[in-house]
Amino acid sequence: MSKFPRRTFIAGLSTIPFALWFEKYAAAQTRAHIRYNVTSVNGLKMLNIYRATVGTMMSTAEPSPIGWLFQWYTHNVRGDRTKAAELARVYPAPSAQKTLATAMWNTCQAHHAGDVEDYFLPWHRMYVYFLERIIRKVSGHAEFTLPYWNYSNPAVPSGPRVPKAFRAPAAATNPLYRPQRNAGANAGSPIDASDPGALDLTALAECTYSPSGVHPGFNSDLDGGLHGSVHVLVGNASRGMGSIPWAANDPIFWMHHCNIDRLWESWNRAGRLNPTTASWLTHQFVFADENGNQVIGTIQDFKRVAPLKYAYDHYEPVPACPAAKMGPEAAAEPQQTRAIAPAGAVELSGAPVQVNFEAPPGPEAEQLPLSQRIKQLKTGRRLYVVARNLRADVQPGVLYHVYFDLPAGTTPKPGKRDPHYVGTLNFFDAHDHEGGAEAAGTAKFRSFDVTRVAKNLQATKRLSTKPGLTIAPANQPEADAKPVVGEITVVEQ
């Protein structure tokens, strides 16, 4: 239960704990609202309501909490202006709305200095939940639900393509259109055309919510992998989805995050457990409801969708996990660093970059070559390439493909067609935007399970005596991006 007293709720309706707010405004709802695939018949009906309402919200006065600018800035204030400057411009005098904006703007998790990565999923669930209610109020359609964009379903031709309603007409008369997208995305090409495998649902195989050793855990893997990759693939890097300060100005943002929320609920429905720590369950964020009230949302109230009275029309299957690895804070298996990139930070460019591995420092008797470590890998143990401290001057605007032991001079083939391919890197939140997450020294990392690839190369006698790593851009990155991977290691766990 929230720490706020009931009399605050009754007297002012200005600051309302979510539990009390829900009791008054939503608890009486008898049936769950269903969120639909944006390509379905019902999804298209909802999309028509969304389209009209976004136009209305865009023309709403900027100070209003139910206007487009206020909702966009809740995620992050536009990148060419500071929060302080925008607060002063939009609210030249003190007001309740200015106080609300001060509490809400720039609170997206977890992409700012001091943020906690494990808040990524619940913060965005709250964000989407309240936007959905605002659209119901503004549109007058009490039945409205936000559709989700299932870009990971290759069986549906429209799956990996930005839905047509967001692309046509390509004019200011269409409130869902934004010119600040990658050209291919706005032309209707599959967003993963140059990046096969980038939209795979690999995060669903994670057994824990939080990191466990070099296992990133579901929340972090989804955030740093599929979530960030979709942002970059829709782009662009300067003023579009590919840039954190501008991302929520694109109406496709909400379809994307509705899908991210659906994947979280899919993972939970398979028996996977959220954190049980008090620091996670009791953490609070401020949002505005459809009446402009300030609501104090607590993660405890947003950890599952059923109590919130909504559901999805489809959930994804989730791979099985050993029971011993399914607890919310499951202990990590012992881990050993088996190889390092001796040069330290690796600077990437518009061409493939090769990284040579060496044995880590330690007793000479333990410094076996990585190829020998692969041969001696015991059943149940896995090898991971771990990339830490990603940073860039600006978001590169492309994904980087990662290959294990790719022979020098070989032209890599993106995706699983290449026997050396192990995954993709994106730099969505790795650049400094008013003190960005990586600039603040957070512990984010990306890990790639290279066990299958390494064992296959060994079995087919293609594993070199000194395996290395190749990182290759899918297309030409932004010239001034200067992306860097601060540390690369190979870890056995």
Higher pLDDT pick, 41 / 417 = 41
The pLDDT value given to residue 131: 98
**Distances in Å between the alpha carbon of 115 and those of 32, 108, 309?**
32, 9, 28
φ, ψ dihedrals at 102, nearest 5°? -60, -40
Stretch 121-149: mean pLDDT, rounded? 98
Tokens for 202?
């690999």
Residue 279 has pLDDT above 50, yes or no: yes
Predicted confidence band at 217 (pLDDT cuts at 50, 70, 90)? Answer: very high
* Residue for token pair 């209003």: 64
CA distance 63 to 71: 11
Predicted confidence band of residue 156 (pLDDT cuts 50, 70, 90): confident
pLDDT exceeds 80 at position 45: yes
**pLDDT for the residue 331:** 67
Distance CA 245, CA 418 (A): 35
Task: Kindly list the domain boundaries of the chain, sorted by start residue.
Answer: 6-325, 336-492
Neighbours of 116 (CB within 10 A): 13
Write down the pLDDT at residue 12.
Answer: 38
Residue by residue, what is the 3-state secondary structure of the chain? Answer: CCCCCHHHHHHCCCEEEHHHHHHHHCCCCCCCEEECECCCHHHHHHHHHHHHHHHHHHCCCCCCCCCHHHHHHHHCCCCCCCHHHHHHHHCCCCCHHHHHHHHHCCCCCCCECCCCHHHHHHHHHHHHHHHHHHHHHHHCCCCCCCCECCCCCCCCCCCCCCCHHHCCCCCCCCCCCCCCCCHHHHCCCCCCCCCCCCCCCHHHHCCCCCCECCECHHHHHHHHHHHHHHHHHHCCCCCCCCCHHHHCCCCHHHHHHHHHHHHHHHHHHCCCCCCCCHHHHCCEEEEECCCCCEEEEEHHHHCCCHHHCEEECCCCCCCCCCHHHCCCCCCCCCCEEEEECCCCCEECCCCCEEEECECCCCCHHHCCCHHHHHHCCCCCCCEEEEEEEEEECCCCCCCEEEEECCCCCCCCCCCCCCCCEEEEECCCCCECCCCECCCCCCCCEEEEECHHHHHHHHHCCCCCCCCEEEEEECCCCCCCCCCEEEEEEEEEC
Tell which wins on pLDDT, 110 or 8.
110
Given a cut of 80, whether residue 324 has pLDDT beyond it is no
Can you tell me the distance from the alpha carbon of 321 to that of 90, in angstroms, rounded to the nearest whole number? 50
Q: Are strands 294-298 and 15-17 parallel, antiparallel or unpaired?
A: parallel
Average pLDDT on 238-262 reads 96
Residue 112: pLDDT band by 50, 70, 90 thresholds?
A: confident
Question: What is the bridge-based pairing of β-strands 383-391 and 346-347?
Answer: unpaired
CB atoms near residue 211 (< 10 Å):
21
Residue 5 in this model has a pLDDT that exceeds 50: no
Chain-wide mean pLDDT for the chain? 91
Record the pTM. Answer: 0.93
User: Which CATH topology does 336-492 take?
Assistant: Jelly Rolls (2.60.120)
pLDDT beyond 60 at 11: no
Tell me how long the chain is.
493
Average pLDDT, integer, range 168-194? 96
Q: Categorize the per-residue pLDDT at 326 as very low, low, confident or very high, splitting at 50, 70 and 90.
A: low
Instruction: Write the CATH number of the domain with boundaries 6-325.
Output: 1.10.1280.10
Least confident of 193-207, 349-363, 394-408: 349-363
Give every CB contact of residue 187 below 8 A, 6+ residues apart in sequence: 167
Which residue's structure tokens are 């090409």? 189
Q: What is the mean pLDDT of residues 358-367?
A: 76
118 or 326: which carries more pLDDT confidence? 118
Nearest one of 322, 357, 352, 366 to 450, comparing CA atoms: 357
Looking at the predicted structure, is the pLDDT value of residue 325 above 80? no
pLDDT band at 439 (very low <50, low <70, confident <90, very high): very low
Percent of the chain exceeding pLDDT 90 equals: 80
What is the structure's pLDDT at 136?
A: 98
- pLDDT at res. 432: 53
pLDDT of 397 strictly over 90: yes
Alpha-carbon gap, residue 67 to 109, rounded angstroms: 21
Tens of pLDDT, residue by residue over 55-108, are: 999 999 999 999 999 999 999 999 999 999 999 999 999 999 999 999 999 999
Residue 188 pLDDT greater than 90, yes or no: yes
Residue 366: pLDDT band (50, 70, 90) is low
Residue 251 pLDDT exceeds 70: yes
Residue 353 has pLDDT above 90, yes or no: yes
Instruction: Label residue 113 by pLDDT band (50, 70, 90).
Output: confident
Contact 421, 453 (CB under 8 A): yes
What does the alpha-carbon distance between residue 408 and residue 467 come to, in Å, rounded to a whole number?
A: 11
User: Do 25 and 293 form a contact (C-beta atoms < 8 A)?
Assistant: no
Confirm if 234 and 240 have CB atoms less than 8 A apart. Answer: yes
CB 75 within 8 A of CB 287: no
pLDDT tens sequence across 115-131: 999 999 999 999 999 99
The C-alpha angle 174, 175, 179, rounded to 5 degrees, equals 75
